[in-house]
Structure 1
Amino acid sequence: MAWLRQRCTPEDPVVRRDELLGFQFEGRTFPLIDNQLGIRKPQGMTAALSILTTYTSDGARAPYEDAVGDDGLLRYKFQGNPRHYTNVGLRAAFDQRVPLMWFFGIKQGLYLPFFPVWIVAVEVASSQVAVALDEAQRHLLIDSVGSEIERRYSQRITKQRLHQPVFRQRVIQAYESSCAMCHLRHRSLLDAAHIVPDRETRGVPAVSNGVSLCKIHHAAYDENILGVRPDYVIEVRADILEEIDGPMLKHGLQELQNLRLTLPRRRADRPDPNLLEERYERFRAVS
């Protein structure tokens, strides 16, 4: 985990599969993930070391949508037979209260790490464990036993620690670490802008509801200074086009008029035209 803290910076927070498999500890290779299984329980250790969620294209749904309970806690399924040694390792991690690492796939062979995480319940009937992403979640009551305030608090933690980081990295990776409007390539200056805000029902944290934008163009999009039509063409609000100011206004905003978004290579990662149209109508209402 100390190595991950050094390796995963704000500029480059994701880690490659080959790095995890080739990790060196005390002069020997000590993989942090299993080469074939989702649970890593090294020989000679009683408890599991890490869990992994394989990358899947999310389409119009968040990839973790079915894996988070109403209590805000991640649910991680057993590896086949509950008596399999990896599942025994998960139960041991619960019994011993030891932390694990969770590697979430955001692209083929690329993972966003979450650590430390803790197993806070073993749900045998559902062949799964409940995983806390934050120290505060370790002390919350599970499922319906907890209060409504506790559940909302836990859900907010999961949104901040899971939904938002995964959404950001998936969108930025889909756009190859570039602003879709101005092509700025500094990752630390890029955001994953929601088309439909995430506070709304249709504002799912899926790549198709996002656009990689630099911070200036993200703010301009949120403030309806810029709009994007369903055909991916950018429009600048009429009053902004008429303003006279410095080079930022001219080159950073006004010259975007009628330019087209630079889109992801994969068609499934491109903005959903229906969501763009819904957002564009809001832009037109204030233009």
Structure 2
Amino acid sequence: MPLGDDLDDRVRAAAMAWLRQRCTPDDPVVRRDELLGFRFEGRAFPLIDNQLGIRKPQGMAAALSILTTYTSDGARAPYEDAVGDDGFLRYKFQDNPRHYTNEGLRVAFERKVPLIWFFGIKQGLFLPFFPVWIVTVEAERSQIAVALDEAQRHLLTEGPMSPIERRYSERITRQRLHQPVFRQRVIQAYGSSCAVCRLRHQVLLDAAHIIPERETRGVPAISNGLALCKIHHAAYDQDILGVRPDHVIEVRADILEEVDGPMLKHGLQEMHALRIVVPGRRADRPDRELLEERYERFRTAG
């Protein structure tokens, strides 16, 4: 086996093994300085490029990783434009078609080697997705199509996709990338704390949509999200608990009158008339119009 291929295999295996150990359910994100400071066989071997979005290390023929930088939420989440009609994510080449990193992506496609995709959650913080595979090089559009798991990877190997396969591919992209990215961006914006009760265990936190994602206005943006523990997320979804546009919590009247154990009393009833904790960054705070729309539903449901 050529030395370059051997190095390629060793680096990918070591990088992914390190990420599996480093990224736990309670701390699934990784910092830029950790990625730049990664060491392989006793020497510095950054997993990302300090300037470019594509990492093609010297001595390796194929690219090792791709990176999507963090951008603040606008009207839509930044990854929406990158999803094709077939449900696959797209990633753009460097502007210069002959750039060595673009060649690294083509080689990764030809050799069918796995890559790592680092997705920006906030400044200097990334959620890694691995292994991912390049399934198509769309040179005319200066981009590649990326599969997020083995099931999605094989959808393009058996001829044209059927409508059922397209929907399946879209569901994989939503479940494997959109939902985890939305969850982490919301949880990080709220300081890894429930907006209602301040619980700080990430494994017990969810990113609740203010307007459900199945609706047109239910975009996966931080401004349409609340970091809630699983109890308060369920209560919010079931209109047991509501949040007014001024951030004051209301508990449904019949629940306030109920007599039950300590969970009801301390976990729900005592939250009534308190204020949620919102992100310090104004752009990350819940959208007032969305809160108002959702609060009206809560009010009429009671």
- Relative to the length of structure 2, the TM-score reads 0.93
Residue equivalent to 2:154? 139
Letter paired with 1:25: F
CA distance in 2, matches of 1:244, 1:230: 29
Following the alignment from structure 1 to structure 2, what is the Cα–Cα distance between the partners of residues 177 and 71?
A: 34
User: What does residue 73 of structure 1 align with?
Assistant: 88
2:143 maps to 1:128: yes
Structure 2 CA distance, aligned partners of 1:104 and 1:62?
13
TM-score normalised according to structure 1 size: 0.98
Give me the whole-angstrom Cα distance separating, in 1, the residues matched to 2:224 and 2:259.
Answer: 33
Residue in 2 that maps onto 1:168: 183
1:60, 1:220 → 2: CA distance?
27
Name which of 207, 224, 232 aligns with 2:239. Answer: 224
Unmatched tracts of structure 2, length 5 or more: 1-15
- Show the counterpart of 1:254: 269
What's the secondary structure of 1:184's corresponding residue?
A: coil
Identity among equivalent positions (%) equals 82
Q: Report the Cα offset of residue 268 of structure 1.
A: 0.8
Partner of 1:237: 252
Shift of 1:14: 0.3
Residue 133 (structure 1) shift: 0.6
User: What residue number does 2:70 align with?
Assistant: 55
**RMSD after superposition:** 1.1
* Cα contact 1:60–1:208 (8 A) shared by 2: no
Verify the 8 A CA contact 1:235 1:257 in the aligned structure 2: yes
1:196-222: CA deviation from partner (whole Å, max 9, x where unpaired)? 111111111110110000111011101
Give the structure 1 partner of residue 129 of structure 2: 114
* Alignment equivalent of 1:86, drawn from 101, 104, 115: 101
1:201 aligns to 2:216 (yes or no): yes
Displacement of 1:141: 2.9
Q: Distance in 2 between matches of 1:103 and 1:65?
A: 16
Q: Report if aligned partners of 2:135, 2:156 keep a CA contact under 8 Å in 1.
A: no
SS at match of 2:156: coil
User: How far apart are 1:184 and its partner, in Å?
Assistant: 0.6
Partners of 2:216 and 2:166 in 1: CA distance: 19
Q: Can you give the 5+ residue segments of structure 1 that lack an aligned partner in the other structure?
A: none
* CA shift digits 1:156-206 (9 cap, x unpaired): 000000010000000000000000001011111111011111111111111
1:70-125 deviation digits (Å, cap 9, x = unpaired) = 11111000011111000000000001100000000001000000000000111011
Task: Output the amino acid matched with 1:121.
Answer: T
* Distance in 1, Cα, partners of 2:191 & 2:44: 31
Runs of 4+ in 1 over 3 A off after TM superposition: none
Residue 97 in 1 paired to residue 112 in 2? Answer: yes
CA distance in 2, matches of 1:279, 1:258: 17
* 1:188 maps to which of 198, 203, 214: 203
Equivalent-residue separation in structure 2 for 1:131 and 1:59 (angstroms): 24
- d(CA) in 1 for partners of 2:134, 2:257: 57
Other-structure match for 1:4: 19
C-alpha deviation, 1:60, in angstroms: 2.9
Aligned length, in residue pairs: 286
AA matched with 2:289? N
How far 1:278 moved relative to its partner?
A: 1.3
State how far apart, in whole Å, the 2-side matches of 1:179 and 1:59 are: 23
In the other structure, the counterpart of 1:275 is 290
1:53 Cα deviation from its structure 2 partner: 0.3
Give the equivalent residue in structure 2 for 1:286. 301
8 Å contact kept, 1:59–1:207: no
CA distance in 1, matches of 2:50, 2:93: 17
